[in-house]
Amino acid sequence: MNMFVLFIIALLPIIWLIVAMSVLKMPGWKACVIALVATFLIAIDIKHMSVLNAATAGLEGIANALWPIIIVILAALFVYNLTLETGAMEKIKAMLAGVSTDKRILMLLIAFGFGNFMEGMAGFGTAVAIPAGILVGLGFDPLIAVVTCLVINSTPTAFGSVGVPTNTMSNITGLNVVGISSKVALIQLVVQFLIPFFAVIIMGKGPKALKGLIPFIVITDLAYIIPQYAVAAVIGPDLANIIGAIVCMVVVILLALKMKTPENPEYMVETSGKKLDINAKDAFIAWSPFIFIFLFLLLTSTLVAPIHDFLSLANSKIAFYTGKNPATLTFYWIDTPGVLILLAGLLGGALQKAPFGTMMRVLGRTVASNVKTMITICSVLAVAKIMGYSGMTSDISKVLVAVTGSAFPFISPLIGTIGGFVTGSGTSTTALFGAVQVETAKAIGANQYWLAAGNLMGAGLGKMICPQSIAIGSAAVGLAGRESEIMGKVVPWTVLFTVIGGIVCFVFPLIGLI
């Protein structure tokens, strides 16, 4: 069969997802289940895969989705929901809002610092909804608040939900996870550095808002980028956003207290938020679930080899696929972020005096409210595995190589951006296109880790304009019904960042920066 015909056939599940979710406005979980059925049938009828092999390939994807990906997502969202239940989140909000009366500084602290922290901890819309809601409560224009948060919450997606998208890329492609995360931090460097400047411009309705604040922004920027890069390159993706954001928030608070910034009535808030009497003990208890998550993940990382190696002994190795060259999945039953986050949440909830029954109810509600998300992720991972084992991924890669050749790296982030727009998920985008990027890299002699990183960056950029992200943001600030207006404000930034990302992806290897 002609190479281009096979290319079109292999693309059919992806084309379906684009049409179903963007044109037909079909719920993501339904569209993904249909895509899975279509992929299964194509693998059997066109690629001559046996029913058993296709079924076990899909089963491998589902198992990979459930553990460790979905367990991390559910655990992270449980911790967030528990802080809402106990009232701890209100105290956290009040502490953040009391730092300054300058809207620009509050935006950098809440949308950039705390927003990136929430992306690292939980992801899935929390990094847009929570900061945007806080900013509106402080008197920010709702439209500007949500647009600013959407722009900021682009590049952190790759390390969101305790590194799930990057870990998924490793699981899908077999590449070393630290190798991928270090390249992600590098490829995003230019866009990541520009984001706080653009955020201030958006918030201040023009470049005039930068006046007198550039040194503050540069220091804030570097306080996030440097530790994020160091963690990504040494430890991996799990703590990259979290540690970067913690350092960033501390630096912003210290700068706000010590560094003189020009007082401009145009950017002042009348009040720095609801005043609460919060002492050091109350602050520790409010933040305790997040503190425990940080400590547990750090102490079980490869930096503390004795603990990491001991806990890693509790594992099971299973090969699901019944065809040739099956992958062997390793399930770590204790030393996995989902279990550690869940334990941290339970411990933090106990400190916040939440009864065990209450915590179980919150956990139950978290699971129940995310069933559709679970179905979506399981379906997409199953699609990815069937496409890989059946040769559909290779069919796509061959044509991309034939059409673009050595120029492919320029469009590598664009492919991820399309995936992010369609799926609204860095994880799902990775599952759909991660193997395609790596297969294409092999064919053109490019660095596989670099193009995997290009896909991850693009996924975050696409999330800025995906309907799901915009709906979450608009609901959080009371702008339901104005989603198209929000999208119109965000699209230019997505286009700009995608072009910059493509240039970086293409040029950095040429000048020896990777």
140: its two tokens: 């920010």
Residue at 52: amino acid letter = L
| 485: its two tokens | 């207006």
User: Which ranges of 300-370 would DSSP assign to H, the alpha helix?
Assistant: 305-312, 337-351, 356-369
H or E segment at 330?
strand 329-332
104-139: per-residue pLDDT in tens?
A: 999 999 999 999 999 998 887 788 988 898 888 888
- CA 143, 149, 151, 153 dihedral sign is negative
Give the span between the Cα atoms of 361 and 86, in whole angstroms: 13
The pLDDT value given to residue 262: 64
Output the CA torsion sign for 478, 482, 484, 490. Answer: negative
For residue 157, tell me if it sits in a domain.
no
Phi, psi torsion values for 98, nearest 5 degrees: -90, 5
What token pair was written down for 445? 């002699």
Beta strand segments in 225-328, E: 315-318
pLDDT at position 346 is: 97
Reference 225, options 176, 191, 261, 180; nearest CA is 191
Does the residue 106 lie in any domain? no
Residues in the chain predicted with pLDDT less than 50, given as ranges, are 272-273
Residue by residue, DSSP assigns 236-260 as: -STTHHHHHHHHHHHHHHHHHHHS-
Structural domain harbouring 33 = 1-92+286-390
Distance CA 268, CA 147 (A): 20
Cα–Cα separations (whole angstroms), residue 235 to 155, 176, 228, 231, 303: 19, 12, 10, 5, 7
Question: What stretch of H or E contains 294?
Answer: helix 280-299
Place of tokens 């930034």: 493
pTM above 0.75, yes or no: yes
Spatial separation of the C-alpha atoms in residues 198 and 214, rounded to whole Å: 12
- Is residue 355 in a domain? yes
Half-sphere exposure of 23 (CA within 13 A, CB side): 6
User: How far apart, in whole angstroms, are the C-alpha atoms of residue 359 and residue 365?
Assistant: 10
pLDDT per residue as tens digits for the range 287-310: 999 999 989 988 998 889 999 999
Determine the pLDDT at residue 490: 94
The pLDDT of residue 276: 62
Q: Say how far apart CA 484 and CA 192 lie, in whole Å.
A: 26
- CB distance 366 to 62 below 8 Å: no
Q: How many domains does the chain have?
A: 1
The token pair that represents 319 in the structure block: 């090969």
Residue 268: per-residue pLDDT: 85
